[in-house]
Amino acid sequence: MLKKILITTITIVVLVLSLGAYAFYWLSSFMPKEHEVTALKASQPSALTYLQGSTSELRGKILAVVTSTNKMGQSNKKTGYELTELSRAYWVFTANGFKVDVASVKGGKAPVVIDADDMGEYDYAFLNDPKAQQKVTQTLFIDDVDPNDYAAVYFVGGKGAMFDFPNNPAIQKLVKNLHENNKIITAVCHGPAALVNVKLDNNDWLITNKDVSGFTNDEELFLIPDAQTIFPFLLQDKLSERGANFQLGETYLEKVVQDGQLITGQNPWSVWTLAEKTIEALGYDPIPREITAEENSIQLLTLYKQEGYKSARSFVNNNNLKYQQVLIVMHSIVAFMKMNLSEGLDLLLIANALR
């Protein structure tokens, strides 16, 4: 391992020194321009073609549940719900005829995590929509929620969910009620923490023998090396401990698993697919939606992981799609940090081919 780290470090240093200022200029060229960011931040729901095609039929209500926790345990690390995990599902649900209520463990204003690197037009449109913002600043108190009002529940991720979802009696009661009435239960990223302590009347865990996904150990520990001391448990470990059949996807790439009425997603890049699978599970065909540049990039990265560089380059050459180049570069950096030099270089070449 030490030899591998040394070789990788020397290689990166040599590359940077040999290319000098050009290397930094080249990498920074993948970042969105200031005027593009300004326009993105001004996104309005009324300007989004997808939302203009929303169905006028009111088909029911979906409850989105977010964390009320703003700090990770005894650490000083801030947390909350992930905005992108709520905003994208929110638009899919509403565009397809479902009213969305937002509840939290404590009710009222919920703490939010906004990662500028992941924000797109739908996310900023959510921030700029007064109705959506009222829902997250005045969330319903989970104890007051009537399960009979909803066709489905969606547990939004965010690391705070690891602290206040698992042992909350109201959440457990809600999930059990929906399960017993054959309604849809969905969760993404850290959201499945809501499911780990739900027991049925026969004393079995709800998720025993169920195919599920969620934020993986690898994803967690890469971002937070001391996660095992900060969190009450690692989500993948706990889901497996409860007897779930944990479905492991590629790190930081889309993975959505459906087992009957239960739909779970691995990470934030799984939200679009999970939300549309929720609509299908509710008995409707999702309205057409233009696939985002981020989704195209995730598809390209998945193809690279599964079939290698040549297939990924061929896909780029034969499909005139929009991509989020900076996402490819970020995965390249992750590969370098994991000492996977060949993958890091491959992804840089692919990102460069997209320019």
Q: CA 193 to CA 175: how far, in whole Å?
A: 12
Helix, strand and coil percent figures for the chain, each rounded to 5: 50, 15, 35
As a whole number of angstroms, the distance between CA 108 and CA 333 comes to 39
Say yes or no to pLDDT of 31 above 90.
Answer: no
pLDDT band at 11 (very low <50, low <70, confident <90, very high): low
Give the model confidence (pLDDT) of 203-258 as tens digits: 999 999 999 999 999 999 999 999 999 999 999 999 999 999 999 999 999 999 99
How sure is the predictor about 4, in pLDDT bands with cuts at 50, 70 and 90?
very low
Give yes or no for residue 36 having a pLDDT over 90: no
Q: Where are the alpha helices (DSSP H) in 150-202?
A: 161-164, 169-180
- Which residue ranges form the domains of the chain, and what is each CATH number? 2-30+292-353 (no CATH), 41-281 (3.40.50.880)
Distance of alpha carbon 90 from alpha carbon 80, whole angstroms: 17
First to last CA, the chain: 35
User: How are beta strands 60-66 and 98-104 bridged, if at all?
Assistant: parallel
Instruction: Give the CA count within 13 Å in the CB-facing half-sphere of 51.
Output: 18
Q: What is the band of 129 on the pLDDT scale with cuts at 50, 70, 90?
A: very high
pLDDT band at 260 (very low <50, low <70, confident <90, very high): very high
- Going by pLDDT thresholds of 50, 70 and 90, the confidence category of residue 355 is confident
* pLDDT for residue 153: 98
pLDDT of residue 74: 86
Q: For residue 107, which phi and psi values (nearest 5 degrees)?
A: 75, 175
pTM above 0.85, yes or no: yes
Mean pLDDT of the chain: 92
CB count within 10 Å of CB 301 equals 23
Q: Please write the tens of the pLDDT for every residue from 93-116.
A: 999 999 999 999 999 999 999 988
**Is the pLDDT at 10 greater than 60, yes or no?**
no
The pLDDT score that the predictor gives to residue 34 is 79
pLDDT tens digits for 57-71? Answer: 999 999 999 999 999
pLDDT of residue 2: 44
Alpha carbons within 13 angstroms on the beta-carbon side of residue 293 total 14
* Residue 43 pLDDT: 93
Share of the chain above pLDDT 90, in %: 85
Instruction: Tell me the pLDDT tens digit for each residue of 159-215.
Output: 999 999 999 999 999 999 999 999 999 999 999 999 999 999 999 999 999 999 999
As a whole number, mean pLDDT of residues 2-26 equals 53
Q: Is the pLDDT of residue 17 over 60?
A: no
Beta bridge partners of 100: 62
Region 304-328 average pLDDT: 94
Please report the pLDDT score of residue 325 as a whole number: 92
